[in-house]
Chain A
């Protein structure tokens, strides 16, 4: 079945440094790749997404890259700040309104002051 692998499971970076989280997916029909940030006890919050017709997308300090051939995609956070500390999930979907979203296992990001 569909599977999304994510690593690392935990990541600690110095404030101001960059953080990178990587994911791979198995379903070659996937064409929508959202990234979510989840704080304790809260719902996942979409922070950025990318579709298969582009290889890179950037929004201020956050960027995502997608390599469809290799079936992997990455999240890059630059100039990290304390408020970036949270759990981050990558996900993959076939992109229609009836398509389920399959989540990666999550990365707990901690920003050291």
Chain B
């Protein structure tokens, strides 16, 4: 099956610093990738849709200047959490559908656990 990787798997940073998370489709191409955030014992909340070669689409209430998304190639999307604060501590997960798969099943990355001190 299709594989999506994320890097890093976990990161601890100081308040006020920026953190970049990478999402890669390893064996397929993805024109669209999705970024989710999951707080403990809660559901996955969609943050934004990353579009290859164009601007990301953010969900209501998600600050685009704080969560920078870049989708420069068909296999890589990055999420940068700028000026991170403790309330940004969460589990960040990306997903991507295979653009050549008509079933449009989405494949999830393993997640990145961000802890902001």
Contacts and interface: CB of A to CB of B under 8 A. Distances in A.
Contacts, number: 53
Contacts of B91: 41
Interface residues of A, number: 23
Contacts of A97: 31-32, 97-99, 101, 104
Classify the interface of chain A: helix, strand, loop or mixed. Answer: loop
Interface string B16-60: 000000000000000110100000001111100101000000001
Contacts of A41: 91, 111, 113
Contact of B44 (A46, A98, A99, A103): A103
Interface of A: 1, 32, 34, 41-44, 46, 49, 89, 93, 95-106
A102 B43 CA distance: 10
Interface of B: 31-32, 34, 42-46, 49, 51, 60, 91, 93, 95, 97-99, 101, 104-106, 108-111, 113
A103 B91 CA distance: 15
